[in-house]
């Protein structure tokens, strides 16, 4: 008997079970028992050729068994098999020639550090000389910015081009209600400067791209990844490997987080763990899947702690260990990571020697390409949907969001069929009927439209902009979330 731990992203296929007990003698048998029991798991875990997909790792207890033959990997009674998919965040070269010293004010400010032997005056001066860059001033960037400013890091670069939105304030504690509509960069910098006027802040009001990443990151000792999308994650990873900078990684999703240190000394990089991104849409973003407001605080503070340890050259970092945090069960686990000699970036014979097009790598096509195909017959404006409803047109409006989203707000007359359940409900819809699909913002409903068309439905349209656009343009009493 072995236990298979199911990650959040796959629980939708296991009737929400987070662990499944199977009777199996090997890892291969265990995974087959799982997919026999829950057939929908199969296509997410295995390719059509039956090969384990490369954005999924399998561990037995805390050992990575990716390179082992699954059918030959024996399981003992009580073993735990973990399925860990990627989730859609040298003693730093503080070799600055510049002499630094602490003022009397700084001695008082950092006195609780100065009396720690592991920090002391020498460590505090290392912090003051250190240069860190934060990619993103959002959920993870908030605790990172606050604490790294407080502990006395001398120079912090922040890369962000976003604006503070009301839905950010549930977790991005570096911004306040008075900052709504301001650039996150300005809001974060003001807060950090207020905490520590000795801090020098470099503001980068841009998105990190393949064109600017090396130039921006080059001047810093440590890169901290607080991003929320796969293209930027791979970009940050590859840039860090190429520049030989430690990449302090964190990511969050719903109630779970991950943290480690990549590309540090001889340790592994993100691509050693996940050579390829998941297909677009498989792993929802926090905007789609939600995130507990406290979670980025926990993971961001772990990242800040790792950055400080790297600067001080003290302690044991997370290099080679992936820390998994489960807030719902208040459980920490860690898995060993190893550098992959065949890694395309940090391996022995790298094939990626310069930055690439990460949108393309992650299978994300710019809207300019996607829209013409969808335009015209395939889409309908929310205002036109309202007119159809008012006229009493004979059509079906399906809402492909999840039931808990339907609880927040709905369009009167819409029929709830969550996207994942749509295949089972096709026979309830008329293939010749007039069908409009909507979701929150239009992405999931586009998938619904594609699915219906593949199944022979002729007159199916996607309501552009989803219920958010409905709230903006048709009925402002519908709350936005
Ligand atoms: Zn690597």
Q: pLDDT per residue over 94-144, tens digit each?
A: 344 446 789 999 999 999 999 999 999 999 999 999 999 999 999 999 999
Q: What is the maximum alpha-carbon separation in the chain?
A: 79
Any idea what the CATH number is for the domain that residue 346 is in? 3.40.50.720
Buried b (16+ CB within 10 A) or exposed e, 58-97: bbbeeebebeeebeebebeeebebbbbbbbbbeebebeee
Where is average pLDDT lowest: 100-109, 128-137, 278-287, 297-306? 278-287
Any idea what the CATH number is for the domain that residue 9 is in? 3.10.20.30
Question: Which of 87, 120, 143 is the last residue in one of the domains?
Answer: 87
Q: Residue 302 pLDDT > 60, yes or no?
A: yes
- The verdict on residue 118 lying in a domain is no
| pLDDT for the residue 368 | 45
Question: Which of 34, 63, 87 is the last residue in one of the domains?
Answer: 87
Confidence band, pLDDT 50/70/90 cuts, at residue 287? confident
Q: Residue 472 pLDDT > 50, yes or no?
A: yes
Same domain? 328 vs 403: no
| pLDDT for the residue 338 | 95
- The verdict on residue 389 lying in a domain is yes
Q: Residue 37 pLDDT > 50, yes or no?
A: yes
| pLDDT for the residue 278 | 82
| pLDDT for the residue 94 | 39
Where is average pLDDT lowest: 29-33, 114-118, 201-205? 29-33
Same domain? 274 vs 190: yes
Q: Tell me the average pLDDT across 230-253.
A: 96
- Using CA atoms, how far apart are residues 129 and 132, in angstroms rounded to an integer? 10
Q: Which of 269, 272, 346, 439 is catalytic?
A: 439
| pLDDT for the residue 475 | 93
| pLDDT for the residue 92 | 38
Same domain? 235 vs 353: yes
Same domain? 260 vs 402: no
Q: How far is the CA of 88 from the centre of ligand 1 (A)?
A: 19
Q: Which of 269, 272, 286, 362 is catalytic?
A: 286
Q: How many domains does the chain have?
A: 3
- The verdict on residue 97 lying in a domain is no
Same domain? 161 vs 300: yes
| pLDDT for the residue 341 | 96
- The verdict on residue 481 lying in a domain is no
Question: Which of 329, 361, 393 is the last residue in one of the domains?
Answer: 361
The pairing of beta strand 131-135 with beta strand 155-159: parallel
- Using CA atoms, how far apart are residues 27 and 105, in angstroms rounded to an integer? 60
Q: How far is the CA of 8 from the centre of ligand 1 (A)?
A: 25
Q: How far is the CA of 342 from the centre of ligand 1 (A)?
A: 8
- Using CA atoms, how far apart are residues 299 and 316, in angstroms rounded to an integer? 17
Q: How far is the CA of 95 from the centre of ligand 1 (A)?
A: 26
Same domain? 233 vs 314: yes
Same domain? 179 vs 56: no
Where is average pLDDT lowest: 40-49, 379-388, 423-432? 40-49
Q: How far is the CA of 241 from the centre of ligand 1 (A)?
A: 8
- The verdict on residue 386 lying in a domain is yes
Same domain? 31 vs 59: yes
Q: How far is the CA of 249 from the centre of ligand 1 (A)?
A: 14
Same domain? 73 vs 214: no
Q: Do residues 158 and 204 make contact, with C-beta atoms less than 8 angstroms apart?
A: yes
Same domain? 440 vs 346: no
Q: How far is the CA of 266 from the centre of ligand 1 (A)?
A: 10
Q: How far is the CA of 122 from the centre of ligand 1 (A)?
A: 33
Same domain? 347 vs 406: no
Q: Residue 463 pLDDT > 60, yes or no?
A: yes
Q: How far is the CA of 247 from the centre of ligand 1 (A)?
A: 12
| pLDDT for the residue 97 | 40
- The verdict on residue 286 lying in a domain is yes
| pLDDT for the residue 366 | 56
- The verdict on residue 113 lying in a domain is no
Reduce the secondary structure of 421-434 to three states and give it as a string.
Answer: HHHHHHHHCCCCCE
Q: How far is the CA of 269 from the centre of ligand 1 (A)?
A: 4
Known catalytic membership, residue 439: yes
Q: Residue 371 pLDDT > 80, yes or no?
A: no
User: 371 versus 11: which is more confidently predicted?
Assistant: 11
- The verdict on residue 27 lying in a domain is yes
User: Percent of the chain at pLDDT above 70?
Assistant: 94
Confidence band, pLDDT 50/70/90 cuts, at residue 442? very high
- Give me the domain span that covers residue 259: 130-361
Q: Residue 462 pLDDT > 80, yes or no?
A: yes
Contacts 24+ apart (CB under 8 A), 32-41: 34/4, 38/13, 38/14, 40/13, 41/10, 41/13, 41/14
Q: How far is the CA of 348 from the centre of ligand 1 (A)?
A: 9
pTM: 0.71
Any idea what the CATH number is for the domain that residue 417 is in? 3.40.250.10
Same domain? 343 vs 397: no
Q: Residue 346 pLDDT > 60, yes or no?
A: yes
Strand order in the sheet with 2-5: 19-22, 2-5, 80-85, 56-60, 63-64
> In the chain, count of helices (H) and strands (E)?
19, 18
82 Cβ contact partners less than 8 Å away, ≥ 6 residues apart: 4, 5, 58, 59, 60, 333, 335
- Using CA atoms, how far apart are residues 328 and 184, in angstroms rounded to an integer? 29
Q: How far is the CA of 61 from the centre of ligand 1 (A)?
A: 23
Which range of 84-88, 132-136, 286-290, 365-369 scores highest in mean pLDDT? It is 132-136
């Amino acid at each position: 008997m072995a236990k298979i731990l199911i990650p959040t992203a796959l629980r939708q296929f296991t009737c929400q079970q987070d662990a499944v007990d199977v009777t199996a003698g090997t890892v291969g048998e265990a995974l087959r028992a799982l997919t026999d029991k829950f057939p929908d798991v199969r296509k997410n875990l295995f390719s059509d050729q039956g090969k384990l997909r490369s954005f999924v790792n399998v561990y037995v207890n805390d050992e990575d068994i990716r390179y082992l033959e699954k059918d030959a990997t024996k399981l003992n009674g009580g073993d735990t098999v973990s399925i860990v998919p990627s989730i859609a965040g040298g003693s730093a070269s503080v070799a600055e020639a510049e002499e630094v010293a602490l003022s009397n004010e700084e001695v008082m400010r950092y006195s609780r550090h100065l009396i720690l032997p592991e920090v002391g005056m020498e460590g505090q001066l290392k912090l003051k000389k250190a240069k860190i860059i934060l990619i993103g001033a959002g959920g993870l960037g908030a605790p990172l910015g606050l604490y790294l400013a407080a502990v006395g890091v001398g120079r912090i670069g922040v890369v962000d081009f976003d604006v503070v939105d009301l839905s950010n304030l549930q977790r991005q504690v570096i911004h306040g209600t008075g900052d709504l509509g301001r650039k996150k960069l300005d809001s974060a910098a003001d807060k950090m400067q207020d905490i520590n006027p000795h801090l020098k802040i470099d503001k980068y009001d841009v998105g990190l791209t393949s064109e600017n990443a090396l130039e921006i990151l080059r001047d810093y000792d440590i890169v901290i990844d607080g991003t929320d999308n796969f293209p930027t994650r791979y970009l940050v990873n590859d840039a860090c490997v190429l520049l030989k900078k430690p990449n302090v990684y964190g990511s969050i999703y719903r109630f779970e987080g991950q943290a480690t240190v990549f590309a540090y000394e001889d340790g592994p990089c993100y691509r050693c763990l996940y050579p390829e991104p998941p297909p677009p849409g498989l792993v929802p973003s926090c905007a789609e899947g939600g995130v507990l407001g406290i979670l980025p605080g926990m993971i961001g503070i772990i990242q800040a702690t790792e950055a400080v340890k790297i600067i001080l050259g003290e302690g044991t970092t997370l290099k080679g260990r992936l820390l998994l945090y489960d807030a719902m069960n208040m459980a920490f686990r860690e898995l060993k990571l190893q550098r992959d000699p065949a890694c395309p970036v940090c391996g022995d014979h790298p094939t990626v020697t310069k930055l690439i097009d990460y949108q393309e790598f992650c299978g994300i096509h710019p809207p300019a390409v996607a829209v013409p195909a969808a335009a015209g017959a395939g889409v309908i404006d929310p205002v036109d949907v309202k007119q159809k409803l008012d006229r009493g047109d004979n059509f079906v409006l399906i809402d492909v969001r999840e039931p808990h989203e339907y609880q927040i707000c709905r369009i009167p007359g819409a029929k709830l069929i969550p996207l994942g359940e749509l295949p089972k409900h096709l026979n309830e819809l008329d293939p010749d009927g007039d069908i409009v699909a909507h979701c929150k913002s239009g992405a999931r409903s586009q998938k619904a439209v594609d699915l219906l068309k593949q199944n022979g439905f002729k007159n199916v349209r996607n309501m552009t902009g989803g219920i958010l656009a409905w709230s903006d343009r048709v009925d402002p009493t519908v709350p936005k979330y």
